[in-house]
Chains A and B, each alone.
Chain A
Amino acid sequence: MKLQHYVLAVGPSLLLAGVCLLIPLLATIIPTFFTPSFSLSSYIDFFSDSFFRTIFYRSLRLSLLTTLITIIIGLPTSYYISLRKEKTRRLLLSLIMFPLLTNAVVRGFAWISILGRNGIINQFFLSLGIIDEPLKLLYTDFAIVIGSVYLFLPVMISTLTSVMVGIGEEVLEASYSLGCSPSKTFFKIIIPLSFSGLLIASVLVFSGTISAYTTPTLLGGNQNMMLASLLYQQSNTLSNWSTSAVIAFIMIVVSMGVMKLFNLLAGKVDRRGEKDV
C-alpha cells in the first residue's frame, strides 16, 4: 500500500489514540516523577500514608482472592461443559456469557438486593427467626469479592472451556485405557494441558478486578475502597491532582505489569515441544 494512503488510513485512529490517550497519559504521569527534579518522592509519600497503603493492599488481596475463587469454581465447571456435546456446550456458554452484556450497575444492584440490610438474604433469615438483627453483608470486603467473582467468572469459564475442548476426546480416552480414572486424568492430563489458558484467564481476572470501579464502589462503599474508587475520590471529589496521578500510574503498572509478567511465563511454559522436526 502506498505510503500516503497508509498515513491517511492510519491517521484518524493514530490521532485519536495519540491525542486522547497517549499524550494525556504521559502528560499526567510524567510530572509525578519530577518534583521538580527526578525523584520517586510522590510514590514514597503515597505508600507512607497508611490510608492509601490499606487501600492498595486491599486491592491486591481481594483481586488475588477473586482470582483464586474463580479458578476453583471455574475448573470443574469448565470441565463439565467441555464434556458436553457441541450443541449443549454452545447453549451453556451463551447462558454463562449473558450477564457480561448487562452493565456493571445492574449486576452490582442485583447483589445489593441480595446482600443489603433489606436484601433477600437478611429477609430470609429474619423471617425464619434465625437472626434478630440484619447481618452486615454489604459494604464489606466479602461483598466486593462476591461481586468481582460474579463479574469475572464467565471470562474464566469460557477461556478454560475452549482450552479443555481443544485437548480432544481421544487423548482423554487414551488416558482412561491406560488405567487412569477420570479424576486422576483430570489432574494429570487436563490441568497440565489447560495451564496456559488458566494463566491467561487468571491474568484477565486479576487485572480486571484490581482496575474495576463500579463493583467495589457499589458493593464496598466508602469504608472499603479499592484503587479505582480511591482515584475517583481523590480526583473528582477532592481535586488532589498529584495524588490522583500517582494512583493512576500505580494502577497501570499493576494491571499491565501482571499481564506482561504472565505473558512471559506462559510463553516459557508453552515452549516445551514447540520445535518442529
Chain B
Amino acid sequence: MSMQYGALSHIDVSYDKKHLILQDLNLEFNKGELLSLLGPSGCGKTTTLRVIAGLIETNTGTFTLDGVDMTHIPVHKRDFGLVFQSYALFPHLTVFDNIAFGLKQRKCSTQETVEKVKSMMEICGISGYEKRFPKQLSGGQRQRVALARALVIEPKLLLLDEPLSNLDAQLRVQMRSTIKRIQQELGITTVFVTHDQEECFSISDRVAIMDKGRIEQCDTPQVIYANPACEMIARFVGFKNFFPISTAERIGLSVPQERMNALLWCIRPEKIDLVDLQSAMCIGTVEVRTYLGESYQYEVKTELGTMIVASSLHPPKAVGEQVGLNIAPEHVVFLDR
C-alpha cells in the first residue's frame, strides 16, 4: 500500500457566491505516483490543480502535504513545479536562465546551478539550447523547457495543466512517454490534468475522473476500465449497451444479490457473443453493419432495444439476418447512476 503523501479535504471553490465550481472535493495522492485529473471542459480539474498550486483561494477545506497544512501558504513558498498549458516561459530570458530561475530564487551557487540546469536539460532532451530565446523554439522544445524549469528545483509536487494539448498528435504521444519516464526516474509525485482519456490511462498510476466539480471515481486505470462507477464514466471508457435493471430478468441475466438495487446494467460491444438462435439469451435482427477492420460492429434490434455488438466471427452476419446474443454475467457491469 502506498503512503498517503497529500490530501485535499472538503474543498469548496466558487467565484461568485452562488455558483460552486468545486463542491466538497476530497482527493488523496500517494508518494511517487502519477495521478491524473480527467474530465470534460468545465468539470473543475484545472481549478483543482490551481487550488493545489495555491493560485486559487478556497472558501472552505484544507490541503495537507507530508503532514504540513499548506492551505494558507502563498504560492511562492510552496515549492511545487508548475507546467502551464501555454508553457508561460519568460520571453526576455534565455532557455538557460528560464530553467535556472527557480534555482536563483533559492540562492543556489552559480556552479551548482549550472550543473543542475545542464543535467536537467539532458534528461529533458534539450541540451545545446541554452542561449536560445523562447521565441526561437518550436512547441515541443518550449514544452521541454517548461518541464525542465519545473523539475530542476526538485519540487515536492509536479503539477501539469494540460501540458500536451498544444502539440500535434505524434508529438503528444512521444512527450507523454517522456514525461512518464522522467517522472518515474525522479520519483516525483505528479498531478496531471487532461481531457484526453487515452493519454491519461496510458501513463497514470491512478485517475480521478471529475464532472461538475465533483470526483466521480478515483482508482487505477485498470479498475476504472473494468468497473466504472457511473454511466458517464462507463461511456467514457467504451461501454455502449445500457439498459434498465428490470430488463435483466427478461433475458435471463442473473443479477447478484447485492446489486439488486442498481439502476442500469451495461456491457461492452466486444463482450457480447454471437451464438446460434436456439441457445441464445436474446434474439435480434441486424440493422446496421460497420466494418472495423479486425471485426464488424453490428447494431442489433432486440426486444430490449438496440444492442451494439462487435465480433470478428467469420463469416460475418448480414444486414437483416437474425442473430442470437449471449451475455455472460462476468462481463456485465451494474451501475447505480
Q: Which residues of A contact B (CB under 8 A)?
A: 168, 170-171, 173-182, 184, 189, 192-193, 272-277
Contact = CB atoms under 8 A, between A and B. Distances in A.
B86 interface: yes
Nearest to B79: A179
Given A177-B53, A178-B153, A189 B90 contact: yes
Interface of B: 53, 55, 74-82, 84, 86, 88-92, 101-102, 105-106, 133-138, 149-150, 153
B84 A193 contact: no
Contacts of A175: 90, 101
Give the one of A177, A274, A277 with max B CB within 10 A. A177
A26 to B, nearest CB: 43
Given A274-B135, A275-B135, A168 B102 contact: no
Contact of A177 (B81, B92, B137): B81
A174 B88 contact: yes
Contacts of A173: 53, 55, 75, 82, 84, 88
Nearest to A172: B88
Contacts, number: 79
Given A173-B75, A178-B153, A179-B76, A273 B134 contact: yes
28 contacts: A168-B86, A170-B84, A170-B86, A171-B90, A171-B91, A173-B53, A173-B82, A173-B84, A174-B84, A174-B88, A175-B90, A176-B75, A177-B53, A177-B81, A177-B82, A177-B150, A178-B105, A178-B153, A179-B153, A180-B76, A180-B105, A181-B74, A189-B90, A273-B91, A273-B134, A273-B136, A275-B135, A277-B137
A187 to B, nearest CB: 12
Give the one of A176, A178, A179 with max B CB within 10 A. A178
Nearest to B138: A277
B87 to A, nearest CB: 8
Contact of B136 (A174, A182, A193, A277): A277
A260 B227 CA distance: 70
A171 B88 contact: yes
6 closest A-B pairs by beta carbon, nearest first, are A273-B133, A179-B105, A178-B102, A177-B82, A170-B88, A176-B75
A170 B137 CA distance: 19
Contacts of A181: 74, 76
B91 A177 contact: no
A178 B79 CA distance: 7
B69 to A, nearest CB: 19
Contacts of B77: 179
A146 to B, nearest CB: 34
B92 A178 contact: no
